Amino acid sequence: MFKGITKRWVLNTLCAIVAVIVLVVVSLSYVVSTYYYSSVEQNLNGRSVEFANILSGFRSDMDQTFTSTARDYVENSPHKERMEITVLSHSGDILVTSTGFTPDKEEPMPDYESARNSSSGYAKWVGKLSSGEKVTAVTRIVKSSDGNTICAVRYVSSMEATDKLLFAAIAIFIAIGLVVIALVILSGTYFIRSIVRPVRVISDTAKKIAQGDFNAKIDKMYDDEIGDLCDSINDMAKELGASERMKNDFISSVSHELRTPLTAIKGWAETMHGTELPDKATFDKGIDIIVKESTRLTGIVEELLDFSRMQNESMILRFEKLDILAELDEVLYMMRDRAISEGKHLLYDQPESMPAIMADKNKLKQVFLNIVDNALKYTPAEGVVGIQVLSESQSVRVIVTDTGCGIAPDDLPRVKDKFFKANQSVRGSGIGLAIADEIVQKHGGNLEIESGIGVGTTVTITLPVANS
Ligand code: ADP
C-alpha cells in the first residue's frame, strides 16, 4: 500500500506517534477514572466515619434511643438524595435505611461481609446491583468504647453520574488524540509530498542526463536542501554538456591536426611516385616536407600519449642534473627558423650561467617547446616573443612574453584545463598547457600565466634549483 519514503515515515514516525498518543490517552483515562472513583469512595468513607462516631456513643443497638438517633441522622442527612444510607444491626438486619425500603435480601453486599471480617472494620465494594446499576458501597463497623460491635453503617452511591462524566472526559481525550493524529498525518503527507515529488523529478532528469540529454534542467521548487540538490544537478548537466562539447571539439581538432601533415605527406609521396620522376630540387623539397611533417605528426602523437599517461598517472620522469640554458638553447634553435619564416621577432638575452636544476631533459624541452610554440602561434607577423631567464635564491625562472592576441580574463583561469581552447580557429588540441602544467608541477615548480587582450601574454615557469 505504502512505498518508499512514505512507507518509512508510516513505520518510523506515524506508528511511534500513534503509539505515544494511545499510551497518553489510556494513561490519562486510567488516572482520571481512578481519581473519580477514589473521590466517591473518600466521600462515602468520610460520611461513614462521621455517622459511626455518632453511633459509637451507644452501648448496643438495643439502647432505647439508638434507633431514633440513627433514623434522625439519616433522615436529616443532606446527602440522602445522592446516596443510600443504611444502619445494620449486630446480626446484619437492616435497622434504618434512607430510602425507606428494605433492600432485597438477594442484593450482593460483599462490603458488609468484608468489613465484618476485616480488622479495620471497613470495606468497600464497586459492582453492579441486580438491577444492573453500578454502585460504590462502603461499610463501616461501629464499635462502642469498650470494643463491642454495636452495628454497621453502609453508604451506597450510584456510579452512573460519575461514569457519565468519566466517559465524557475519556471521549474528549480520544477526540484530542484523533485530532492530533489527523494533524500529524496531514502535515506528514504535505512534508512527504514536498520531498517525494521533487525527488521524482530529480531522478527523471538524472536519467535523461545519463542518456546524454545535457540540456535537461530542473526547475528549483524549494529554497532548501532539495533546492541545492536541483542546483547541483543543473550545474552537473551544464558541466557535462560543456565537457562533452570540449571532447567533440578535441576530437575534431586532433583529427584536423593529424590530417594536415598527412595530406602534405600523401601529396608529396604521390608526386614522387608519379609516372615522371621529379627533378632533384623538387625531390629534395618533397623529402624535406615529408620529414618535417612526419616529425610534426610524431610530436602530436607524443603529446597525445603524454596526455593519456597524465590521465592514467603513469607519466614517469627521469630526473638528472641539467643546465637549463643548454636545454632552452636547443628549443630556441629549433624555433628560430620558424620565427623568421613567419616574420616574428624571437628575442633571447642569454645570461652567462644559471644554477643547475634537477629535471627530466625531454619533458622540460617539451614544456619550453609548447610555451614558445604558443607564443609564436598566437602572435601576428612583426610581433615580438621574448625569452628571459632569471635566477633567484632557490629557483630559476623562465619568462616567455609575447605581443600576441592575449587571453580574455574569463578564459584565463581555464587555459590550463585539458581540452580548453580559447580560440577555436587556431590549430591546436587544447591539451598542451595542461600537460606543461602537470610536468612543471611534477618538477616541484609552477607555471603562471598573465595576459591581457591585445596586450600579449606572459608565461612564467619557476623551477627549483638542484641541491648541490
Ligand atoms: P593549444 O594546443 O590549443 O594551443 P594549449 O593547451 O597550449 O592548447 O593552450 C590552451 C589555450 O590557451 C589555447 O587554445 C589558446 O587559446 C590559449 N593560449 C595559450 N597560450 C597563449 C598565448 N601565448 N597567447 C594567447 N593565447 C594563448
At what angle are helices 15-55 and 66-76 packed, to 10 degrees?
A: 140
Confidence (pTM) = 0.58
- Interval 415-420 mean pLDDT: 88
Residue 277's pLDDT is what?
75
Q: Which of 371, 373, 376, 378 to mutate to test the pocket of ligand 1 (most atoms within 8 A of CB)?
A: 378
Ligand 1 centroid from CA 413, angstroms: 12
Q: What is the pLDDT of residues 191-247, one digit of tens each?
A: 988 888 888 999 999 999 999 999 999 988 888 898 999 999 999 999 999 888 888
CA angle, 285 then 425 then 251, to 5°? 85
Q: Which of 250, 374, 400, 461 to mutate to test the pocket of ligand 1 (most atoms within 8 A of CB)?
A: 374
Residue 103's pLDDT is what?
66
CA angle, 50 then 152 then 144, to 5°? 75
Residue 188's pLDDT is what?
92
Separation CA 307–CA 282 (nearest Å):
37
Closest residue by CA, ligand 1 atom 13: 421
Ligand 1 centroid from CA 252, angstroms: 17
Instruction: Pick the range with the lowest mean pLDDT from 33-47, 51-65, 115-129, 381-395.
Output: 51-65
Among left, alpha and beta (phi > 0; psi -120 to 50; other), residue 106 is alpha
Give whole-number Cα distances, 319 to 299, 313, 316, in Å.
Answer: 22, 17, 10
Q: What is the pLDDT of residues 42-87, one digit of tens each?
A: 999 999 999 999 998 887 777 778 888 999 999 998 888 889 999 9
- Interval 264-275 mean pLDDT: 87
* Exposed / middle / buried, residue 169 (Cβ in 10 Å: 0-12, 13-18, 19+): middle
Q: What is the pLDDT of residues 76-120, one digit of tens each?
A: 988 888 899 999 988 888 889 988 776 666 778 899 999 999 999
- Interval 270-278 mean pLDDT: 79
Residue 406's pLDDT is what?
95
Q: 212-228 burial string, b = 16+ CB within 10 Å, else e? A: eebebebeeeeeeebee
Atom of ligand 1 nearest to the CA of 416: 6
Closest residue by CA, ligand 1 atom 7: 432
Ligand 1 centroid from CA 373, angstroms: 9
Ligand 1 centroid from CA 247, angstroms: 16
- Read out DSSP for 297-313? HHHHHHHHHHHHHHHHT
How would residue 274 be classed by pLDDT, with cut points 50, 70 and 90? Answer: confident
Most confident of 70-84, 175-189, 248-262, 419-433: 175-189
Closest residue by CA, ligand 1 atom 20: 374
Q: Which residues are CB-contacts of 363 (< 8 A; sequence separation ≥ 6)?
A: 317, 439, 442
CA angle, 381 then 385 then 389, to 5°? 170
Q: What is the pLDDT of residues 279-337, one digit of tens each?
A: 888 889 999 999 989 998 998 898 899 888 888 888 889 999 999 999 999 999 989 99
Atom of ligand 1 nearest to the CA of 400: 23
Residue 59's pLDDT is what?
79
Q: Which of 369, 421, 429, 435 to mutate to test the pocket of ligand 1 (most atoms within 8 A of CB)?
A: 421
Closest residue by CA, ligand 1 atom 14: 421
Q: Which residues are CB-contacts of 110 (< 8 A; sequence separation ≥ 6)?
A: 123, 125, 127
Residue 32's pLDDT is what?
96
Atom of ligand 1 nearest to the CA of 404: 24
How would residue 27 be classed by pLDDT, with cut points 50, 70 and 90? Answer: very high
Q: Which of 433, 448, 449 to mutate to test the pocket of ligand 1 (most atoms within 8 A of CB)?
A: 433
Closest residue by CA, ligand 1 atom 11: 421
Mean pLDDT of all residues belonging to the chain: 91
Closest residue by CA, ligand 1 atom 23: 375
Ligand 1 centroid from CA 364, angstroms: 18
Closest residue by CA, ligand 1 atom 16: 422
Ligand 1 pocket: which residues have CB below 6 Å? 370, 374-375, 378, 402, 404-407, 415, 420-423, 428-434, 457
Closest residue by CA, ligand 1 atom 25: 406
Q: How far apart are the first and last CA of the chain?
A: 77
% of the chain residues with pLDDT over 70: 99
Ligand 1 centroid from CA 415, angstroms: 7
Residue 52 CA, chain-centre distance (Å), reads 74
